[in-house]
Amino acid sequence: MPYEIKKVFASLPQVERGVSKIIGGDPKGNNFLYTNGKCVIIRNIDNPSIADIYTEHAHQVVVAKYAPSGFYIASGDVSGKLRIWDTTQKEHLLKYEYQPFVGKIKDIAWTEDSKRIAVVGEGREKFGSVFLWDTGSSVGEISGHNKVINSVDIKQTRPYRLATASDDNCAAFFEGPPFKFKFTIGDHSRFVNCVRFSPDGNKFATASADGQIYIYDGKTGEKVCALGGSKAHDGGIYAISWSPDSSHLLSASGDKTAKIWDVGANSVVNTFNMGSDVLDQQLGCLWQKDHLISVSLSGYINYLDKNNPNKPLRVIKGHSKSIQCLTVHKNGGKSYIYSGSHDGHINYWDSETGENNSFAGKGHTNQVSRMTVDEAGQLVSCSMDDTVRYTNLIQRDYSGQTVVKLDVQPKCVAVGPGGYAVVVCIGQIVLMKDQKKCFSIDDPGYEPEVVAVHPSGSTAAVGGADGNVRLYSIQGTTLKHEDKLLEAKGPVTDLAYSYDGAFLAVCDASKVVTVFSVADGYSENNVFYGHHAKIVCVAWSPDNEHFASGGMDMMVYVWTLSDPETRVKIPDAHRLHHVSSLAWLDEHTLVTTSHDASVKEWTISY
C-alpha cells in the first residue's frame, strides 16, 4: 500500500444564525457527531483530533444520529434523503436509504430497540414520518402541525411516546406504536426549536425562541413547570440536552450563554457566559458522560467547565468554510500547517497533535487565495480583499503587521530570497521588495494566473490563461521579460519549482502536468498524464524526485520525476470535494485540503 491516511483534521460544524445545530451523541459515550456541507463528522469526545468523515450524501447534510445500539448512524440531508450506515467499519457501508418526504430533514429520533425511526422537517405534503428501519413501512402518522417541524424525540422506555416541536409555536404529543396524535401543547409564544425526553423517560422538555423551557410528564404529557419561572434565557433557546441521570438539563441560547438547570428543584446550577460578540451565540449542545459541549455561531466547539463557568475547558477551532490554500513551515522544531479559507480565516495546526488556532486581531475580510512563507519567517498571504499581508509566525497576530493594498485583486503570490515577492493580479504583475510595491507590469498582454519564483531568486515564472508560461528576470527593483515562452497543454492552473531549482512543474486545465528542466534552457523534461479533470494544484516533495498534483477529479497523484508510469494514486482523497491545495511536511508526508474544510495528512511510501 503506497499511501495511507495519517491524520484527519476535521472541519467545524456548519452553522447559520437563528438555526439550531444538532449534535449527535454516542450511546457508547466515545464520539459525537455533527454535519458540515455534504459531510458527517465523527469526532472522539475525549480527543477531538481523532476524527472520521462520512461523505456519501449528494446534498448538504443537516442532522446525524447514532442508533441506540451504537452500530448504525442515520443521517438526513436537505433533499429529504435518509441514509442509515454502518459505524463499525472504516468503509461505512450503506445499510438502507429512504426518502420519507421531499424537503429538508431537520431532526431524527430512534426507538431504544433501534428498530423504528422518526424523521421530521420541511416536507411538501407532510412534515414528518415514522417507520421501521429495515423495511421502511410506516408505524404511525406524524400530524397535528401546520408548519415545519424542527425537532422530534422518542421516549427511550416503554410505553413509547413521541414528541415534536414546530414553527407553529406548538409541540405535539403522540402515543404508540403505531404512533397516533394525542394533543398539541400550545404553551410557547414563538417557534419551538427543540424537544427532548429525559433518558429515564419520566419527563420531556421543550425549548423555544421565546426564551422559555417547559418540562412535561413523559408518560401523560402534562405540564410540570416552566424552568426559571418566567424566562429561562434572555434570548431564543436553540438546544437542550439532558444529563445522563435525568436530573439536570443543559440549555444553549442566543443570549450567548449556556445554563445547567436542576430540573427537580427548578433552579439554575451554572450559567456559562460565552462572550459578548454575536458569534458567541450558542446554537447547539450535548451532555455526554462528564462532557458538556456547546456550539457557537462561530462554529467553535466549547467544552464547558462546571467549576469555572466563564472559561471553557477547551475550545475546538478550525474551519467551517471551504479551504482554498495551504502552506507548511517549521517553527521552533515543530511543523505547522497554515490553511486559509474562503471567508478570510487563516488557521495554524500543529501537524502532530492537530492543536490549532486562528491568528489574533483582524485579518483578511475575504477569500484567502494563496499563502507562502518567506525567508524571514513571515506568512505572506494574498486575498480577494485586494491586499497582501505579511504576518509574523511567532507572534501570530495581524495587528501592527504590514498590509499592502493593491490596485486590483491578487490571485497568487510567490516569494524569493532577498525580500522579494511577486504578486499576480487580474491583468497585472506586481514586484514587491521588503514589503513594498516597487514595480508593476500593468498590461502584460495576456491574463496571468499563477507565479513561482526560482529558489535562487533570479527568475519568476508566470503561468497564463493562454496556456503559456513566461519567464521574468528579477533585476534590482524591476521585472524584465525574457524571450522564452514555455508551452503547457492548456490554461495554466498552478506551477512550482523543485527545491533545488532544477525543475519547473506546470499543471493545466487540460489534465496534464509538464515538467521543464531549468538547466537545459527550460526544455521539456517529461509529461505526466492521469487526471480525469482539470488539475488545480501541484507541489514538490523536498526530495526533488517526486511531486504531487491534485485536481477537480478528487484525485491526488504522487509522480516520480524519472518515470511517469510509477505513480501513487490516492482516489477520493476528499470524497465528493475537489482538492484545493497540497503541501509536503517531509519527504514522506503529504498534506491535502479541500472544499470540505478538512485537512488530511498522508504517509506516502515509494
Domain boundary among 258, 287, 316: 316
Domain contains 334: no
Residue-level pLDDT at 149 = 96
Domain contains 449: no
Domain boundary among 260, 288, 316: 316
Domain contains 512: yes
pLDDT at 492 over 60: yes
pLDDT at 481 over 80: yes
Residues in the chain, overall count: 606
- The count of other CB atoms within 10 Å of the CB of residue 234 is 11
First to last CA, the chain: 9
Confidence of residue 210 (pLDDT cuts 50, 70, 90): very high
Residue-level pLDDT at 399 = 83
For 271-304, letters b (16+ CB in 10 Å) and e give ebebbeeeebbbbbbbbbeeebbbbbbbbbbbeb
Kindly give the pairing relationship between strand 368-373 and strand 356-358: unpaired
Say which CATH number the domain at 208 has.
Answer: 2.130.10.10
Torsion sign, CA atoms 183, 186, 188, 193: positive
Q: Which residues are bridge partners to 412 per DSSP?
A: 424
CA gap 280, 397 in Å, rounded: 21
Domain boundary among 263, 285, 316: 316
pLDDT at 549 over 70: yes
Confidence of residue 361 (pLDDT cuts 50, 70, 90): confident
| Tens-place pLDDT, residues 436-452 | 999 999 989 999 999 99
Between 572 and 583, whose confidence is greater?
583
Domain contains 442: no
Q: Do the Cβ atoms of 339 and 349 come closer than 8 Å?
A: yes
pLDDT at 170 over 60: yes
| Tens-place pLDDT, residues 407-463 | 999 999 999 999 999 999 999 999 999 999 999 999 899 999 999 999 999 999 999
> In the structure grid, which three cell numbers stand for residue 54, read together?
462520512
243 Cα distance to chain centroid: 28
CA gap 176, 223 in Å, rounded: 20
Give the mean pLDDT of the chain. 93
CA gap 419, 68 in Å, rounded: 59
Domain contains 393: no
Question: How many domains is the chain built from?
Answer: 2
pLDDT at 197 over 80: yes
In this structure, what are the phi and psi dihedrals at residue 194, rounded to the nearest 5 degrees? -155, 140
| Tens-place pLDDT, residues 524-537 | 999 999 999 999 99
Residue 175's domain comprises: 3-316
CA gap 67, 50 in Å, rounded: 21
Say whether the peptide bond before residue 2 is cis (omega within 30 degrees of 0): no
Q: Do the Cβ atoms of 388 and 432 come closer than 8 Å?
A: yes
CA-derived radius of gyration, the chain: 27
Q: Do the Cβ atoms of 547 and 538 come closer than 8 Å?
A: yes
Mean pLDDT across 545-549: 95
Write the Ramachandran bin of 361: left for phi over 0, alpha for psi from -120 to 50, otherwise beta: left
CA angle 414, 419, 420 (to 5 degrees): 40
Name every residue whose Cβ is closer than 8 Å to that of residue 147 and which is 6 or more positions away in sequence.
Answer: 127, 166, 167, 168
Domain contains 252: yes
Say whether the peptide bond before residue 312 is cis (omega within 30 degrees of 0): no
Domain contains 371: no
pLDDT at 345 over 80: yes
| Tens-place pLDDT, residues 11-29 | 999 999 999 999 999 999 9
| Tens-place pLDDT, residues 216-245 | 999 999 999 999 888 999 999 999 999 999
Mean pLDDT across 366-373: 94
User: At 596, which helix (H) or strand (E)?
Assistant: none
pLDDT at 470 over 80: yes
Best CA proximity match to 433, nearest among 454, 416, 413? 416
Residue-level pLDDT at 386 = 94
> In the structure grid, which three cell numbers stand for residue 373, read together?
512563507
Report in angstroms the alpha-carbon separations of 33 from 15, 21, 45, 435: 14, 11, 9, 44
Best CA proximity match to 337, nearest among 592, 551, 588? 592
Report in angstroms the alpha-carbon separations of 590 from 3, 335, 360, 504, 602: 10, 12, 27, 19, 5
Question: What is the maximal distance between C-alpha atoms in the chain?
Answer: 86
Q: Do the Cβ atoms of 522 and 514 come closer than 8 Å?
A: no
CA gap 137, 128 in Å, rounded: 14
pLDDT at 48 over 70: yes
Residue-level pLDDT at 575 = 84
Mean pLDDT across 255-268: 95
> In the structure grid, which three cell numbers stand for residue 440, read together?
508593476
Domain contains 183: yes
Confidence of residue 89 (pLDDT cuts 50, 70, 90): confident
86 Cα distance to chain centroid: 22
pLDDT at 606 over 90: no
CA gap 365, 184 in Å, rounded: 47
Confidence of residue 513 (pLDDT cuts 50, 70, 90): very high
Helix, strand, or coil here: 278? helix
